[in-house]
Amino acid sequence: INTVYYMAPFATLIMVLPAFLLEGNGILEWFSVHPYPWAAMIIIFSSGVLAFCLNFSIFYVIHSTTAVTFNVAGNLKVAVAVLVSWLIFRNPISYMNAVGCAITLVGCTFYGYVRHMLSQQPPVPGTPRTPRTPRSKMELLPLVNDKLDDKV
């Protein structure tokens, strides 16, 4: 959450100048045509809130699992989307797309199998617990764990 806190103001400042240079005349014209732009402002603000929620959920998923699991899930999502669009909408896919989707599905399945097998093994004595293992109910809350034990 701290990353979003520090990143968002700079991203806004970086995008304001290009927005006014590229869209300035259109923005001014739109304001002159629409005397009450509150509906559009609510939509823009809602878009920002949804973008924040998306970033927060991404950070929460990475915090709860691992960055590798998050990337594997993203690749799986793309492969499933391609296959579903082929099945439902009959969108054409090339031979290479089909092979790529098959390799992705096999790789994601293998990754899930290996993660499951590793989680079934008893921990080796003397090894510290991973930061992904919750130690209390407080750690189940998003982004609350300070992980001070891991920094020693």
- Compute mean pLDDT per 10 residues along the chain, 152 residues long, and list them: 81 89 86 82 90 87 88 94 94 94 95 90 69 59 52 44
Task: Show the domain range for 54.
Answer: 1-64
The confidence score (pLDDT) of residue 83 equals 92
**CA 75, CA 104: separation in Å to the nearest integer?**
7
Cβ-count burial 82-116 (b if 16+ within 10 Å, e if not): bbeeeeeeeeeeeeeeeebbeebeeebeebeeeee
**10 assigned to some structural domain:** yes
Residues 6+ apart with CB under 8 A from 65: 132
- The residue with tokens 């079934």 is 120
The confidence score (pLDDT) of residue 136 equals 64
**126 assigned to some structural domain:** no
* Both tokens assigned to 152: 């020693």
The confidence score (pLDDT) of residue 8 equals 82
| 7 and 57 inside one domain | yes
pTM of the predicted protein model: 0.61
Q: Which of 47, 20, 16, 17 is nearest to 31 (CA)?
A: 20
The confidence score (pLDDT) of residue 36 equals 81
| 60 and 71 inside one domain | no
**36 assigned to some structural domain:** yes
The confidence score (pLDDT) of residue 120 equals 87
The confidence score (pLDDT) of residue 47 equals 92
The confidence score (pLDDT) of residue 98 equals 93
| 84 and 95 inside one domain | yes
**143 assigned to some structural domain:** no
The confidence score (pLDDT) of residue 121 equals 83
**CA 150, CA 130: separation in Å to the nearest integer?**
8
The confidence score (pLDDT) of residue 20 equals 85
* Both tokens assigned to 63: 């915090």
**CA 64, CA 128: separation in Å to the nearest integer?**
18
Rg of the Cα atoms in the chain: 23
The confidence score (pLDDT) of residue 29 equals 86
